[in-house]
């Protein structure tokens, strides 16, 4: 009689999520944990990570993707703890909404350092481990990496840079069994994205979403991540743009009720 049991039980997959302590990152940690995956949440804020670990059972590593030593230590600890099947490059953010003629050079540099160089640093450091598992690298870019908007140039430039890094890496990895997946969210109402962009100005941050009928939630993007990394391995979702129904483009946003139910 032929046994229908596999010779060995499937190995639990293990993902690393940067910017894992809040927003899309934390939602992705929850979504992959709910799928039965082991997940390492990486972020700077230990207290938030500890709360997420208590809630989800994820592993946590306190690290700053903009710092070489911090990433080296983090990756040493992550790889000592087991295999890495997926890296979700989610850490990132926007600073300000300044026109080019008045832009703050420091903010442009900081966004490039975080969104482009930080992502590169984590990707380079985990690539050997990902090669061992024929893993996936997910880049959470933005629709800002696809089209400019007034006041957005510093963020847009950094997200175009991140997107180009992802596209180039995909070309360079052809012939190896790794997937490079870009998920580009449009308007997502998270706790911190606009608050950080406007330097803690809660009123201005709330104004971004005012009268917008259902901006995306972090969970919507987490579901996109979960779906793309659980598809059969021969399917690579190259680029996925996700916007709320209210948004037709970076500068085209409906205000007021749209008259539909989820």
Nearest-angstrom CA–CA distance, 159 and 147: 10
Q: How far is the CB of 229 from ligand 8X3 (least distance, A)?
A: 21
Using DSSP, how many helices (H) and how many strands (E) does the chain show? Answer: 9, 9
Q: Could you give the CA distance from residue 184 to residue 241 in angstroms, rounded to a whole number?
A: 5
> Which of residues 142 and 228 has its CB atom nearest to ligand 8X3 in the complex?
142
Residue carrying structure tokens 């690539």 = 127
Q: Which of 115, 142, 158, 239 binds ligand 8X3 (CB under 6 A)?
A: 142
Choose one: 75-83, 138-146, 164-172, 174-182; the region binding ligand 8X3 (CB under 6 A): 138-146
Phi, psi (rounded to 5 degrees) for 247: -115, 120
Site residues (CB under 6 A) for ligand 8X3, limited to 170-199: 185-187
* Catalytic residue list contains 112: no
147: phi then psi, degrees, rounded to nearest 5: -155, 140
Alpha carbon dihedral 245, 157, 181, 18, in 10-degree steps, equals: -100
| Calpha distance 103→197 (Å, rounded) | 13
Considering only the stretches 18-26, 34-42, 105-113, 136-144, report the one whose residues sit in contact with ligand 8X3 under the rule CB under 6 A.
136-144
Stretch that binds ligand 8X3, among 11-19, 39-47, 141-149, 221-229 (CB under 6 A): 141-149
Q: Return the sign of the alpha-carbon dihedral for residues 258, 217, 96, 147.
A: negative
The yes or no reply on residue 161 touching ligand 8X3 (CB under 6 A) is no
| Number of residue whose CB is nearest ligand 8X3 | 142
Instruction: State how far the Cα of 122 lies from the Cα of 91, in Å rounded to an integer.
Output: 10
Binding part of the chain for ligand 8X3, among 71-79, 137-145, 160-168, 170-178 by CB under 6 A, reads: 137-145
How far, in whole angstroms, is CA 139 from its chain's centroid? 6
Residues contacting 118, CB < 8 A, separation 6+: 18, 65, 66, 91, 92
Per-residue x/- track, 226-255, ligand 8X3 (CB under 6 A): ------------------------x-----
Binding test (CB under 6 A) with ligand 8X3, winner from 143, 158, 228, 239: 143
Nearer to ligand 8X3, 20 or 244 (CB): 244
**Catalytic residue (one of 112, 149, 155, 160):** 155
H-run or E-run covering 41: strand 38-43
24 binds ligand 8X3 (CB under 6 A): no
Based on CB atoms, which residue is closest to ligand 8X3, 144 or 157? 144
Among 118, 135, 152, 154, binds ligand 8X3 (CB under 6 A): 152
Residues that bind ligand 8X3 (CB under 6 A): 142-144, 152, 155, 185-187, 250
* Residue positions annotated with a catalytic role: 155
């Amino acid at each position: 009689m032929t046994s229908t049991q596999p010779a060995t039980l499937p190995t639990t997959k293990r993902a690393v999520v940067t910017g894992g302590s809040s927003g899309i990152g934390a939602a992705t940690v929850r979504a992959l944990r709910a799928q039965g995956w082991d997940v390492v949440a990486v972020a700077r804020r230990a207290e938030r990570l500890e709360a997420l670990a208590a809630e989800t059972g994820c592993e946590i590593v306190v690290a700053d993707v903009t710092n070489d030593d911090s990433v080296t230590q983090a990756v040493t600890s992550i790889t000592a703890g087991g295999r890495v099947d997926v890296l979700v490059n989610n850490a990132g953010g926007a600073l300000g909404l300044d026109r080019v003629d008045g832009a703050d050079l420091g903010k442009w540099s900081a966004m490039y350092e975080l969104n482009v160089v930080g992502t590169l640093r984590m990707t380079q450091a985990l690539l050997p481990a990902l090669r061992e598992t024929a893993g996936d690298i997910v880049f959470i870019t933005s629709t800002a990496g696809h089209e400019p908007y007034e006041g957005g140039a510093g963020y847009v430039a950094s997200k175009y840079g991140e997107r180009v890094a992802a596209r180039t890496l995909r070309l360079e990895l052809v012939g190896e069994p790794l997937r490079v997946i870009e998920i580009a969210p449009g308007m997502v109402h998270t706790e911190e994205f606009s608050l950080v962009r406007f330097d803690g100005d809660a009123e201005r941050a709330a104004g971004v979403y005012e009268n917008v009928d259902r901006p995306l939630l972090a969970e919507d993007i987490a579901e996109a991540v979960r779906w793309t990394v659980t598809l059969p391995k021969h399917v690579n979702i190259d680029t996925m743009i996700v916007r709320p129904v209210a948004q037709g483009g970076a500068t085209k946003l409906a205000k007021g009720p749209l008259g539909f139910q989820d």
